[in-house]
């Protein structure tokens, strides 16, 4: 066996082992301290592109589905309030709506939801945040970006230069809408514009509902622009400025917790973070995700980003 093949097998073995370890440690983690029904705050982590998952050799690398975390917090009778820590530029429209609706269900249990914005909580990340009772942003947080985008690349010119031609057999006139080898027809542009406008309207309604803000006011802020946390506070998109632990203090006060609360995390380590540590995790996953995106990217997708 060659040295390269041996190294490859070792790496594969390590990934499999760490994946198994990740499954074994999938129980919620908590800070040191005695957790009781009167002093515990749940922590939900929403990081990276919303709805994005990565598989290596069929092993999922994103084991922290926000919806699953929310459901665990909803069923956890020891938790008085929840802090949702968001560091996301947005992502899938459908997944963002799903997370928002799950947070609304959590709120119906009577548990206060305090949002803590990190480096970014933009577009779909902001939609999710709008479910919170109180939103706390860092002064330098990038947020807002309320809007919808659909993009794809047209390779028609490149195909012409290479002498390539795509052959398409379809069941209807719009089945290949968004084909990367030709321009959109006026009819196709109208169809996609309708999809964008309807999805955008859903976004506006959710922010209006979550923030208790007139929809006309939301529209004024929903031209796709971004805001810093400090700017967002001035226009009513967030409630307070502060960091994660400021959000924890607010959650404790809002839920009547006396003394220092115990934090219970519902996110679990990913196999790569176990193998390489949290510092290397993000870089390795970003590289892996980008490689997979270039190799297997969908024709087009609808995103809040």
Catalytic residues: 123, 175
> What is d(CA 249, CA 261) in angstroms, rounded to the nearest whole number?
8
For residue 19, give every residue at least 6 positions away whose Cβ sits within 8 Å of its Cβ, in sequence order, or none. 59, 271
What does DSSP say about strands 40-47 and 79-88: parallel, antiparallel, or unpaired?
Answer: parallel
Sign of the CA dihedral running 108, 109, 112, 117: negative
Cα-Cα-Cα-Cα torsion 150, 153, 156, 161, nearest 10 degrees, comes to 170
First to last CA, the chain: 47
Angle, CA 212 vertex, CA 207 and CA 215 arms, to 5°: 60
Which one, of 266, 239, 259, 249, lies nearest residue 66 by Cα?
Answer: 266
Question: Contact 103/131 with Cβ under 8 angstroms?
Answer: yes
Question: Contact 120/141 with Cβ under 8 angstroms?
Answer: yes
Token pair 């892996």: residue: 288
> What is d(CA 89, CA 274) in angstroms, rounded to the nearest whole number?
25
φ, ψ (nearest 5 deg) of residue 7: -60, -40
CA of 162: how far to CAs of 30, 158, 178, 240, in Å?
57, 6, 21, 56
> What is d(CA 217, CA 157) in angstroms, rounded to the nearest whole number?
43
Element (H, E) at 137: strand 134-137
């Amino acid at each position: 066996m060659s040295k390269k093949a041996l190294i490859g097998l070792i790496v594969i073995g390590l990934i499999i082992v760490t994946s198994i370890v990740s499954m074994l440690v999938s129980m919620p983690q908590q800070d040191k301290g005695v957790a009781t029904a009167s002093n515990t705050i749940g922590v939900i982590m929403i990081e990276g592109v919303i709805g994005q998952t990565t598989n290596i050799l069929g092993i999922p690398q994103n084991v922290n589905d926000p919806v699953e975390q929310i459901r665990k917090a909803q069923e956890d009778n020891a938790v008085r309030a929840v802090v949702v820590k968001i560091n996301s530029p947005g992502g899938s429209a459908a997944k963002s709506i799903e997370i928002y609706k799950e947070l609304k269900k959590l709120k119906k249990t009577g548990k206060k939801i305090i949002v803590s914005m990190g480096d970014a909580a933009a577009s779909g990340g902001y939609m999710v945040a709008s479910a919170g009772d109180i939103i706390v942003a860092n002064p330098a947080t990038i947020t807002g970006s309320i809007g919808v985008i659909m993009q794809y690349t047209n390779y028609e010119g490149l195909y012409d230069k290479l002498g390539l031609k795509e052959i398409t057999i379809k069941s209807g006139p719009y089945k290949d809408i968004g084909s990367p080898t030709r321009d959109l027809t006026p009819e196709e542009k109208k169809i996609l514009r309708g999809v964008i406008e309807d999805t955008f309207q859903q976004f506006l309604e959710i922010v209006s509902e979550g923030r208790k803000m007139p929809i006309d006011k939301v529209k004024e802020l929903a031209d796709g622009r971004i805001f810093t946390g400090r700017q967002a506070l001035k226009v009513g998109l967030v409630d307070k400025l502060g960091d994660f632990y400021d959000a924890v203090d607010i959650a404790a006060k809002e839920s009547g917790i006396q003394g220092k609360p115990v934090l219970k995390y519902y996110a679990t380590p990913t196999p790569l973070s176990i193998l390489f540590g949290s510092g290397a995790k993000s870089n390795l996953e970003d590289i892996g995700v980008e490689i997979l995106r270039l190799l297997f990217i969908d024709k087009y997708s609808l995103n809040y980003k």
